[in-house]
Structure formats: structure tokens, C-alpha cells
Chain A
Amino acid sequence: MAVEFEPIVGRYFTVTLSGRACRIYVEEAGQGIPLLCLHTAGSDGRQYRHLMTDPAVTEHFRVIAFDLPWHGKSNPPAGFHDEEYRLTTTTYTEAILAVAEALELDRPALIGCSMGGRIVLHLAAHHADRFRALIGVECADHQTSWYDTSWLNRPDVHGGEVCAAMVSGLVAPQSPDEYRWETLWGYMQSGPGVFKGDLYFYREDSDFRDRTPLIDTTTCPLYLLTGEYDYSCTPEDTERTAAGIPGAEAVIMKEQGHFPMSENPARFREYVLPVLDKIRRAG
């Protein structure tokens, strides 16, 4: 009996980032408008598998999710064993733009969640001409540090266990157990220090309050979607951010947490499909 393959196809390519060769894993499904997907801190592109298997999305969008270096199936670059991983606004932006260019994406739409939502604001302020629309999921202009991230990477605490336990409450209580634990599995699998290194960008190097006034949503529409149970990027954070950006559309998602596309895909599509429809109608 032949297996029934999902429509998702994964491949590898190599791109130079910060002068170093990085082997990148990318998955895609569908055809039409390219939709580049950015995973959360300490996880990988598998978070978008439900968008990639939803015909309502893939009939009109070529959904593309890549794993940042150090994440998922994208290895860290050679020499990683002697360095501490730290994502910054500069290196994150470089990776996104380089991947979009390497894949020859023509003004893709982009969706990013959490730290991927945060970088959306920087892209909107400084690289709006490269994108046709931006969707920031669990997106706000800054976050005050509220716990010591050194707990995430030290020898007397299991990194995979503590990363998952720290974020487990970010999944809404209504989300199905199957997807709650699949989402947390991504955190359990993350390499040592990777979540912490991502949080350097998220906590220390991405106070974007200075650049939200630069965002022109007539150049590139901006949509913000945040779950009501997200206590990392709270609904108030998103609403405050949107209030400072004329034309930005913000929606607070009921019964959703910090990982809507992976923790409760059925609910998420209720919120993201109307946004994708607007992007499609704009051309």
C-alpha cells in the first residue's frame, strides 16, 4: 500500500551569513504568493506544519518555513563548539533577507511569531520594500526582562526540560493536548543554549519603540495577532504597539497562547485566513 505523503517538501541549501557558510533546512508547500514563516525562539519551522497542510492556505500561498542556523535541522556553523550563540537584530535580519534572496522570493508575505513577530517590526521599519505584507504573531515593540535566562543553560538543570517547563504556561489551557505537547517537544529538542541565545535578541537587543514611528503601513500592510493567554507578549503589549502604528491591524485571539499556529491550529486558521485573504486580494 502506498503511503500518503503530506504535501510538505524539505530541502537543504547553503547560504553565507556573517561571513560563514550556513546549511539551512527549508520546508515548503503550496503555490502562489510566497509566505515566509519565522519560528519562535528555541524552536524550529515545524511549528508551521499545519499551515502547510491546509488547502485553504496552500491553494493561494507558497508557504515556506526555514530553520534558523542552530535550530531544527539547520546545523550551527563550523566552530560553534567554542562560542556562545547569541541572536541579534543584525544577524536575524541578515538571515531573513539572505534566505528570501537565495530562494528568489518576489516580495514575499512574511509571518513571524514571538521573536519572529518582534523582528517583523524592524523589517516593517527598514525593509518594507522587500515584503508585500507582514504578519506579527505575538508581536510587541519591546519586552522587559522578567526572569533570569541563565537558568536555561547550565549544567545542573536539564536544558530541554527547563525550556519546555518555562514556556509550558504560554500554551493556552484550551489548546488540545496533542498540539500542546508537540509544541513543547520543539523546546525539549532545542540545542543547549539556543533558546537562551534567541532570548538575547528578544530581551536585550530588540527594543523597537524607537522605530515603530518609522513604519508606513501604506508601503507594507502590518497585521498583529496575539493570544489572550500570552503572558510573554501580552494582549496589552500588542495593542499598545499597534496604537503607535497608523494602519496596523491588531486582533486579540481568544483561547490562544504564545504559539497559535502550532498549539491550536484549528483556532488559528479562524484568525489568520482572513488576514491571508486580505493579502491575496491586495495582490
Chain B
Amino acid sequence: MTGDEVAAVLAGLPALVNGREPLVNRGRFFSGEFLVEADTVPIHVKVVEGRIAAVETGPFRMRAWRFAVRAEAQAWARFWEPMPEPGYHDVIAMCRLGVARLDGDLQPLMANLRYVKEVLASPRGTLGGR
């Protein structure tokens, strides 16, 4: 999987998240913007009260975000496997493994950690044949 392919997967977040009422409800106090990076491809995600309002793929010239979750494109592909292998089954696990990292202002991430982790994991098992 390339960075652009990861961006294509994340473009599906509004459909994957906004119809899941328990997940939206979990994020109802979170409005903000964060960055997902796959190799060198930046993907900007805007959340409004738990709903994914917009997903845009860079490069960007001037774009603000609060925190970033960065990983190799191949790590995201393994993360979204229906039954991921050890170390690729969780964003925090990928950080521990050294294939992902968290940057920026981590407060909104930590305050909404379960929500963000579940948003990022929402494509798991939906990628057909993976």
C-alpha cells in the first residue's frame, strides 16, 4: 500500500464513522483537526462534535492541526488487516514498535484517545481481500 492508497482509504472515514452512533457519541465533545501521515503523504482530518466533517489529502502550504499520527504506509496497511499481527493491531502498539509516532499537542488526543483510535481503526476489515 502506498501513501496515496492510505489517503484513499481515509477518504472513506465520513462513511465509516458518521453512521456509527456510539462512536459519534463518544467523540461528541471533540471538535478539532488532526493529521494522519502515510510515508510522506499528509491527510488532514477535520472533526466536528464527533463527526468526520472533512478529509483532505495534501501537500498543504498552510494547514493547522493539533496532533499528528504518522506511520509508514505499509504499517497502516497491516494495521487495517482483518486480524492484524502483533504490534500492528493498535496505534499505541505501533508507536511502541517504532513504526508510528505521535506529534503536536497531545492533549486533545489523550482526552479523546478511545475515539481517535476507533476512528483510525474503522477501515479495518473493509478493504476487501486484505
- The chain A residues found within 8 Å of chain B, CB to CB, are 146-147, 151, 156-158, 161-162, 164-166, 168-170, 172-174, 228-229, 231-232
Give chain B residues whose Cβ lies under 8 Å from the Cβ of A172. Answer: 89
Interface centre among B96, B97, B106, B117 (most CB of A within 10 A): B96
Q: Is B1 an interface residue (CB 8 A)?
A: no
A260 to chain B, nearest CB (A): 14
Q: In the docked arrangement, what's the CA distance between A164 and B113, Å? A: 9
Q: Given A162, A169, A174, which contacts B91 in the complex, CB threshold below 8 Å?
A: A169
Q: Which of B83, B97, B110 contacts A162 (CB 8 A)?
A: B110
Given contacts A165-B113, A173-B89, contact A146 B107 (CB under 8 A): no
Q: How far is the CA of A31 from the CA of B52 in the complex (A)?
A: 55
Give chain A residues whose Cβ lies under 8 Å from the Cβ of B90: 168-170, 231
Q: Taking the nearest CB of chain B, how far is it from the CB of A99, in angstroms? A: 32
Asked whether B86 lies within 8 Å of A231 as measured between CB atoms, the reply is: yes
A-B contact count (CB 8 A): 50
Complex Cα distance A146/B97, Å? 10
Contact A173 B111 (CB under 8 A): no
Report Cα–Cα, A232/B86, bound state, in Å.
12
Which A residues lie within 8 Å of B110 (CB)?
151, 157, 162
Pairwise interchain contact A156-B111, C-beta atoms closer than 8 A: yes
| Partner among B83, B97, B117 whose Cβ is within 8 Å of the Cβ of A231 | B97
Once A146-B96, A156-B107 are accepted as A-B contacts, the answer to whether A162 and B86 lie under 8 Å apart by CB is: no
Which residues of chain B have C-beta atoms less than 8 A from A162's C-beta?
Answer: 110-111, 113
How far is B110's CA from A249's CA once the two chains are assembled, in angstroms?
Answer: 38
Query: Does B92 lie at the interface of the complex (its beta carbon under 8 Å from any beta carbon of A)?
Result: yes
Listed by A's residue number, 26 A-B pairs whose Cβ atoms lie within 8 Å are A146-B96, A156-B107, A156-B111, A157-B107, A157-B111, A161-B113, A161-B114, A162-B113, A164-B114, A165-B113, A166-B92, A166-B113, A168-B114, A169-B89, A169-B90, A169-B92, A169-B93, A169-B117, A170-B93, A173-B89, A174-B83, A228-B86, A229-B86, A231-B86, A231-B96, A231-B97
Given A161-B113, A164-B114, A169-B92, answer yes or no on A151-B86 (Cβ-Cβ < 8 Å).
no
B84 contacts the other chain (CB 8 A): yes
> B106 touches which one: A151, A165, A229 (CB < 8 A)?
A151
CB contacts (< 8 Å) of B32 on chain A: these are none
**B87 contacts the other chain (CB 8 A):** yes
- Bound Cα distance from A168 to B95, whole angstroms: 14
